[in-house]
Every structure is written in structure tokens, then in C-alpha cells.
Structure 1
């Protein structure tokens, strides 16, 4: 391999720029958590979800050949925005000492394992996600807070369940472009309205909870048919 091919310009592509923005938003969310700006921190996490969805869409549109580098950049960005940021948010907004530390650590650990497995099986399993996608953690935490339904007992329990579901073998459907556009619009409305119109945050929470339950609903319907 010639010397210039080791340069970062040889590897980086347009989708990676969106992944970096995703990571930057996650970092800024962490800063806001440390500063006590929880509402803004949630809005930044949701904005990171949008950029995370855009990078994959662009990569598919341009038919990127070198998927390895982009997949690693995406995963490293995701662990910041959807692993570390939600974990620190939960630690900072709950008062159950040691329990909140344990749940936060669980989120980080399961997030790392989830993304590592994804990088290994992505080329093998292309029609579905194995385990709950990690952005769901950020969406649930943020929508719970912005909707005003936030409760430290509830968030600790839900976060624990989601963490284990991320490393489970449960298959989750990939969201197509049409449904993805609807989700992005709802995310934008939730970000822009904040606490003024909690209906959008509530709708986002209901939507993501429905997505979490999809495999169980499908399984139940199949049993009824039999």
C-alpha cells in the first residue's frame, strides 16, 4: 500500500462527516448534562439520532464500497451519543446511589457489545437488526424527560430492560425511507417545541415503545393464527 493511502483523506467519506456531527452532538449533550441543562441535553441527543440516520441513508445512496471504515466511525460516534450521554443523563437525574451507577454502567457495557456485534454480523444479516438498536436508548430517555412523564423509578427499570434487549438475539425490522422520514419529522418537532408542546415528545415516546414491542406483537399474532 502506497504512503498516501494511509492518509485519512483516503478513508473518510461524506457519510462520515454526519457521523462526526452525531458524535459532536453527543459530546455537547454530555457537556449540557454536566452544566445542568437537561432539556437541551435531551434535544441534542435527539438531534444526534437524526444525523445518525442520515449518514446511513447517504452511504446507501452513494453505494459506498469501503464500509469498514464508515461502520467503525458510526459505531464509535453512536457509543458517545446513545451510550455515554444517556448513561450520564440517568446517573445525573436519579438519586438511587449505586443503583444509578450500576444502570449507567450497564447501558455503556451493553451498548459497546451491541455495536461490536453489529460490526461483525452487518454483512451477514442485512434484512433486520439483531438486538434493539442503540439509538432507541437515547430516544426513550429524551422523550420521557421532554414529555414530562420522567420518573426515576421508571427510567431505571426501562433503561435496564432496554440494555439487555440491545444484546439479545431478538430481531428488529429496519425502518424504510418512508417511515424513517416520519420519524425524523417527529424528532424535529420534538426538538423545536421542547416543553411548550409536550404532545410531540409523548407521541415520540409512544412510537418508540411500539417499535420495542413489535417482535413480541408479531410473535403473539403468529401464535393466534396457529
Structure 2
């Protein structure tokens, strides 16, 4: 998959499920719940034990899913994640060596920023999209103000986005939102209903 194809999938879904857990087993259960519930864009945080191996397992089990790696802080981690099958890389901050490594091997890269100045630096570094992190420091309205000045910035608010306000971020101009355990809790049937409802409301928010 090309970088632009990965970004198209992320934009079409409107939500990236973030998987982070204290054990690989917990992470695997959460990831499979999301995937079985129709959410096929997942970011596996490298803070999770054995995260690269989990990405490999999920790639084999769900070949049509778009899997990425999160908390990618350096070139070595970027390469490890890509070798495991990650199609996109996400960082909490901007690391230009992650961007260059990801692009060298075909992965889309979404670095984190928290100010307009950081957003511009991420654009200059070649970011495919930009993680607005933590989104809890922002509001959809304040993000809209930034996009008025930087309409070329594809923003993905993450950290503090809820099931209730996710469509508000999309309506304000976000390409997608990043969300964690709120998506995968409960049974597969419960998660399926939750994810289906969220994606419907995101599509409606786009107009």
C-alpha cells in the first residue's frame, strides 16, 4: 500500500483506533475486538510489550486491515514497525528521522504537534498528516481557528477525544480522530454497535 492510499483509508474511516495495554495479550484482545467490529484502522502503540510481534500477527489474521504503530520516537523503532507490517507511523512529537525513515520505506507518518509553529515544522518535514496532541488542550473551535490560517494542515486530534465529541472535531475540519479504549470496551456486539454509530455520526458531520 502506498502512503497516499494509507491516508485515504484513514480519512475515509475518520477514526484511528489506538491500542495500548500493559500486556500483549490485553492489546491483542482489544485489537481483535475493534477489527471484528468493523474498525479496520488501528494504531498499535510501541509502549505495549511485544508490539511488533502483535502487528505481525494481526497482519496475518486481518490482511485487509490498515495497521500502524504508535509512539514511534526514532528511526530504529520506525524501521522495526515497518518491517513488522505497519503501514503508518504515529509519534507524540515531531522526529524528522522518523518521517524520513517512514517515507524511505513507504509508510505514512503522522507526527504529534501542540502549537501552530510545530504544525508548520511538521508540514515542512513532510508529514502526511499531523497529530494534534493532546487534543484535550484544544477545542474543535480553536482547531478551526488554526485551520483558517493553515488550511493545508491535515490534522488528527488525539488524546481527549470522546465518543460524544468526535464528530465535532470532524465538523471543525479534522481529517480523522484518534481514540483509545472507549472503542473496544465490552463485548464484540457492543463494540460493533458503538463503532458503527460513531462512523455514521462522523460521516454526517462531514456533510
TM-score relative to the length of structure 1: 0.29
More strand by share: 2
